[in-house]
Structure 1
Amino acid sequence: MLRVDGLSVGTRHTGLLHDVSFQICRGERVGLIGESGSGKSLTALAVMGLLPEGLAATGDVRLSARTPATRNLLDLPERDLARLRGDGLSMVFQEPMTALNPTMRVGDQVAEVMLIHRTQPSRGAVRRRVVELLEQVDLPDPAHLARSYPHELSGGQRQRVVLAIALANDPALLICDEPTTALDVTVQATVLDLVVRGVEERDAAMLFITHDLGVVATVCERVLVMYGGRIVEAGPVQDVFGDPRHRYTQGLVAASDLTGAEGRRERAALPTIPGSVPPAGRFPDGCVFRTRCTHADEVCRTQPPWVPRGEHPAGETAYGHACVHPAGGYGDE
């Protein structure tokens, strides 16, 4: 479905993403986690072809759904990318008010993506589909709500509208970038259920970006751990969270509210990772985590190799870690 090989992003003088490689299979839900500044959102923007001015991407990104897998998305002109976005590729952003046009009725915004890509046979079919989509995301009285403006809706309702837009053309890949961060806990759970239901009904792949390990454990089957613009660990959620190998992952899990971290919390009032995330482009050479790792030594000044941990349909990069002093589980100190 989605294959990313050697993706690097940066300015002329500063690297921000480094040799990022991963695959997502059809129908698979994959989480991408890490602290703020790790490169999660930048990865998504590079895949979508939405990098800010001044940043350039190199590598190979292929989507084997609505476009031939022989085409590298990074080489496509904007005209071709625009045809793909909202059709084969869709994205749900963190803040719905910045994703919606405040001067357009929400029904017109849902309709717009179908009209642009001509996925419905007539305008009448588009109008009917708008109501269906708003109903699918559990919005009350969808025919009436379609005539509302974004400011007339609650935050949770606006995010459901954004989700309806993203799912309107049955995308092959849905990217969610912190879609529930701005919502309260009750609304968050509802939106997460709608996201999972939406991708499952379409057999779509999903890349779910978040800093919340609990959310990943709820909605994803596999997880990628990112730090310093690199993937440092990957694998099935229960294995990575239940028996983390990279020292950064170990720190994230220990500081989380996952059930598996209870034992650590009993022994330490507030587990934290030493230090803080360096500014973009100022991560150390070698292991990007070594300046914050209590197990680092001279060997860590060299970039650690990727160590496969097991087999997976998504390939070698789907299950493994890049750490020369790996943890052995929760009992490892």
Structure 2
Amino acid sequence: MAIPPGNFAVNLSSSNAAGGTTTGSGAFLIGTSVKVVAAANAGYSFVNWTENGNPVSASSTYQFTITGNRNLVANYKAIIPIGTSVINLGTAGDFAILTKSGISTTGTTSVTGNIGVSPASATAITGFGLIMDTNGQSSHTPIVTGKVYASDYAVPTPANMTTAVSNMETAFTTANGLVTPAPIVNLYAGDVSGRILTPGLYKWSTGVLISNAGVTLTGGPNDTWVFQIAQDLTVNNSAKITLLGGAQAKNIFWVVSGQATLGTNTDFSGIILSKTLISLNTGAKVTGRLLAQTAVTLNASTVIQP
């Protein structure tokens, strides 16, 4: 844009093209009162105006007197309502770890929450040193703060486990099929290492990598992240998922059509809904849930149900 002599430029942009639009850009004489307006698209809300990364106004209508060139960015965040209206885990939400074919552990593992398998039997839960409860409906072990369930335990456990697994599969299908708000597609070509991600729906036709640089999720306590990953989720050794602004692990969904591999000493947050294997290497910690349609393998790992 050519700027006439004695004028200054107001340049506007949006942090997310799908999030909304802006009006009010142009060339203005010094001392002119300028009004810029940000309009969020359906499924998004306005956050603030920033300049050079610094917030300058929290109002979608920002009025100022121009004294120099301005480069303003309108920031939007996706609105995904939390709870059953988005991803209902059903009775799968009663488990820290739930699988169809098995759960195995080596080393000193710690799980806070229930674990269970179905249609696999209790013999598919290995390394836990299970002790059958007197009612035959569940078992326990010193390394699980909760109950252990399997399809071959006493009634009503088999029916309950069938329902929980069905709910897990439905949750995966629902989460993987979300299209609202408009997804952010193939962001950073699947390598989100060192990035800051705001709430929203993200979709990749590839795998997703988180290197030891980690990734930061910033948003409020009622904000939701849904990550639709068509291939594998790979979290490298010592990577950390950092939560800022009150973001909560229970509102983060990693929907993985391949397998999820968490490297040594990773610090991971969120619910993994995996079509296949979830593997935790030595010292990996998860604040969330591991819900796999095949197996979960642990190696001196920690899982804490949020």
Instruction: Name the TM-score, length of structure 2 as normaliser.
Output: 0.25
Which is strand-richer, 1 or 2? 2
Which is helix-richer, 1 or 2? 1
Q: Kindly name which structure, 1 or 2, has the bigger radius of gyration based on alpha carbons.
A: 2
